[in-house]
Amino acid sequence: MSTKIGVVGLGYVGLTLTAALADKGFTVYGADVSPAVLDALSHGRPHIFEPGIEDVFAAHLGKSIHVAADLPKDTVDVAVISVSTPVDNMTHRPNLANLAAAARVVAGSCRPDTLVVVRSTVPVGTSRRVVLPELQAVWGERVRLVMAPERTIQGQALRELVELPQVVGGLDDESLAAGIEFFNGLARTVVPVSGLETAELVKLSNNCHTDLIYAFGNEIALIAERHGLDPLEVIRATNVDYPRPDLAKPGYVGGGCLSKDPYIMIDSAGDRRPFLVGKARQLNEYLPIHVGETVVRMLVEARGRSLGARLAVLGWAYKGWPATDDMRGTPIEPMMRVFSAAGVTVLGHDPMVTDDVIRQYGGEPVSLDKAFTEADAVLIINDHPDYRALRVPEVLGATPPAFVYDSWRVLDGDAVMAAGVRYAGLGYLPPAPTGPGDDGGAVGAVAGAGASAAGAVSA
């Protein structure tokens, strides 16, 4: 079995794979172009939060985990390419320059019999069109190449790398056999597919389907809002003992994968653009803007103005559970443009995100207790456990905000309205209570029933 593995690119995909492989007894040589990343990892400080990573590095760094700017010459049996494939913010076209550069690094550092694994998310046909020629330019026809997409969720990556099936597509039979042997040393199940392109489309299919089903939940929320209905009540009733697939609850859809992979799928379709993928992405990208505009309108209704109003925003990472500090695809980014244009001062809190990052996005860091006592309104964006654990009577205090917009409905809506504070959520805009002690009648009961029903949308 191959025991020496090179990993080119130590972002989220490469770092988690490095840790999982080391934990399985492989010797891993990680390479990255970022001096800051290499410095942090060489001192045992992973630059990305993921449960278990720090412990693995503490146990294996310098023994079976080595990090450097380059792969060691003619050493590794398997070279995994896990570099980023970003999508241009304006054109939405994928940039494959990192991938081509990584393939050249592998070709120049490794032997021709090295198994090369493409782990990055790419348009269909990219492994054959971009990676293969770079390898052949140095090695000739002696290339063993597979595509094996990464499909883990943040917060559970080390477990899922072992438990989730690993899909492997090869350039040829020899490549596929080598890829199966390698991943059998990591995962419980390996799923061989007929070629590189099939494996590439598997990854895109997984993530774009997720984007689609979340978009439908968001569509229901927007329609429910127009009619004064509770989308969580609608979705719960729809799903009760009904044999067709459950509907997803509404929620923000972000992260490094779901915010870009639909565009890679669209690019894969060429001139025949997909009917659904782009529309679903458009809806999911619109949702934070819609919420930002709704919150500004509620501030005007409550305070007579938005200019100078103070809004406390809880949850800046793109999701709260499993907990992460990842800001890629975070809903606060488009929201901040709305708040800035309206003259709103934004206070920020997130258990996982540093004060410096909150400032970089335009917020003023605030403690959790002061968020509810020093702001005109509170907006909860993600469902971190710290927010789910909040006790409403205690946090509202003597000077409560005018309203709480609880995107995930993690608070006790009845208790919020009983304190005379308006309570709202995604697709859910009941009127403000007339005063303390008035829970809004039937609307309050619906809010309380739905408070624990929302779950985190994550990538």
Decide: helix, strand or coil at residue 382: coil
Amino acid at 75: T
Both 185 and 272 in a single domain? no
Mean pLDDT calculated for residue range 143-151 = 97
Mean pLDDT calculated for residue range 331-337 = 98
Look at the block and give the residue holding tokens 């099939």. 198
Token representation of residue 249? 């609850």
- Helices 277-303 + 261-268 axis angle, to 10: 150
The reply to whether 419 falls in a domain is: yes
Distance CA 420, CA 256 (A): 39
Query: What's the pLDDT tens digit per position in 268-326?
Result: 999 999 999 999 999 999 999 999 999 999 999 999 999 999 999 999 999 999 999 99
pTM of the model: 0.90
Both 26 and 97 in a single domain? yes
Q: How far apart are the first and last CA of the chain?
A: 32
Position 432 confidence tier, pLDDT thresholds 50, 70, 90: confident
The reply to whether 114 falls in a domain is: yes
Domain closes at, from 162, 194, 226: 194
The reply to whether 421 falls in a domain is: yes
Q: What percent of the chain has pLDDT over 90?
A: 90
The reply to whether 383 falls in a domain is: yes
DSSP state string for 245-272: PPPPPP----HHHHTTHHHHHHHHTTTS
The reply to whether 220 falls in a domain is: yes
pLDDT at 267 over 80: yes
pLDDT at 449: 32
222 burial type by CB count under 10 A (0-12 exposed, 13-18 middle, 19+ buried): middle
The reply to whether 199 falls in a domain is: no
> By residue range, what is the domain housing residue 112?
4-194
Both 214 and 188 in a single domain? no
Look at the block and give the residue holding tokens 């929320």. 221
Largest CA distance in the chain: 78
Report the mean per-residue pLDDT for the chain: 93
Query: What's the pLDDT tens digit per position in 235-257?
Result: 999 999 998 889 999 999 999 89
Token representation of residue 129? 């069109």
**Count of structural domains within the chain:** 2
Distance CA 240, CA 231 (A): 14
Both 73 and 212 in a single domain? no
β-pairing, 27-31 vs 4-8, is parallel
pLDDT at 42 over 90: yes
Distance CA 143, CA 132 (A): 8
Query: What's the pLDDT tens digit per position in 68-123?
Result: 999 999 999 999 999 999 999 899 999 999 999 999 999 999 999 999 999 999 99
Decide: helix, strand or coil at residue 209: helix
Distance CA 133, CA 140 (A): 9
In whole angstroms, how far apart are CA 311 and each of 210, 304, 417? Answer: 31, 14, 19
| CATH number for the domain that contains residue 63 | 3.40.50.720
The beta strands (E) that lie in 17-82 are given as 27-31, 65-68, 78-81
C-alpha closest to that of 118 among 109, 108, 110, 128: 128
Domain closes at, from 130, 159, 194: 194
